[in-house]
Structure 1
Amino acid sequence: MNLVLWILAFLLAAVFIGSGLAKLLTPRAQQVERTPYAEDFPHSVIVGIGVLEILGAVGLILPALTGVATILVAFAAAGLAITMVFAALVHIRRGDGFAAALPSIVLAILSVLVAWSRFGPYQL
């Protein structure tokens, strides 16, 4: 199970780094075109979410690799899960439909799995 959690952590980190970098590097007009929810928030909020996603991704991997403050892996996963719950709620509130909220829901569930496992039975 530990190997599964490592693989899951790396996959989640890759997704969140990609998503975070897209939020940081993509011009606002292009963000609104690709992801209409961005229009509902100031650009600074979107950038802040991108920074949180990148920090969460780093928190999933770096403490585990270094062996320093490994409890941060569980906290990073929990923080990313909370972020994805709110992302799903934004899509639902906007009326984007279940299909738009599904990626956030899946990422939230996977992040909860990592958080629960690293807090509990499979600590680093």
Structure 2
Amino acid sequence: MNLALWIVAGLLCAVMLFGGMTKLIVPKEKLAAAPAGGWTGDRSAAFVKTLGALEVLAAIGIVVPRAVDVAPVMVPVTAVCWVLLMVGAMATHLRRDERTAVVANVVYLAMAVFIAAGRF
């Protein structure tokens, strides 16, 4: 079970890191033109960058505390926060009728629930 939790945490970390860095580096206009990225056109650049920074911090929080055994309770707390973020993301994508993005959000949500349940 521990190995499965590490694998899922690693995969989710990669998703968080990629998504966060993309939001931090890529200009908002280019993000808005990407598939399922239209929501960024409705938000300020500061909001998108802040969300990107939070995703990068989540990538750190989903693996590092457990790996270095410092405040390992932060791993399931981060996973719960990610669940809340995915609920918001699903609502946003459903409003915009972006069904493919919702499916991905459900998968990421399930991964985070698995980590939270396994690490609490």
Same fold (TM over 0.5): yes
TM range (shorter): over 0.9
- Pick from 88, 105, 118 the counterpart of residue 86 of structure 1: 88
The residue identity in structure 2 corresponding to 1:90 is T
Give the root-mean-square deviation of aligned CA atoms.
0.9
TM-score scaled by length of structure 1: 0.91
Q: How far off is 1:95 after superposition?
A: 2.2
Report the number of matched residues. Answer: 118
Superimposed CA distance per residue, residues 65-105 of structure 1 (whole angstroms, 9 cap, x where no aligned partner): 11010000000111111111110110011222x22211111
| Alpha-carbon separation, structure 2, partners of 1:10 and 1:71 | 17
| Structure 1 residue ranges, 4+ long, deviating more than 2 angstroms after superposition | none
Find the residue that maps to 1:69 and give its secondary structure.
coil
The runs of 5 or more residues in structure 1 that have no matched partner are 120-124
1:31 equivalent to 2:31? Answer: yes
Percentage of identical aligned residues: 33
Matched ranges for 1:8-87 at <5 A? 8-34=8-34, 35-87=37-89
